Amino acid sequence: MNTIHLSDEELDIARHGMTAYLRSFGHDEADTVHLIQAVLARLAAAQAEPDEPAPIG
């Protein structure tokens, strides 16, 4: 498992890019289509992390 941090704008462009990528595949690449759909579902479920508090001192 990997973690990446994206701004709202970066997350939006990633969604758009994956959607465009998905449209370029046909029925012969079912495994790829399912994987892209899974990634898109995870992107759609992304939640913002709370900001870290400033260090004291």
Block mean pLDDT (10 aa), the chain, length 57: 88 93 81 90 86 67
The reported pLDDT for the residue numbered 55 is: 67
Task: Please state the domain extents for the chain.
Answer: 8-44
pLDDT at 17: 93
In whole angstroms, give the CA distance from residue 10 to residue 12: 5
Among candidate residues 55, 17, 18, the one with its CA nearest the CA of residue 37: 18
Residue 57 token pair: 């001192």
Q: Report the distance separating Cα 46 and Cα 6, nearest Å.
A: 10
Contact 25, 33 (CB under 8 A): yes
Cα–Cα distance, 13 to 53 (Å, whole number): 28
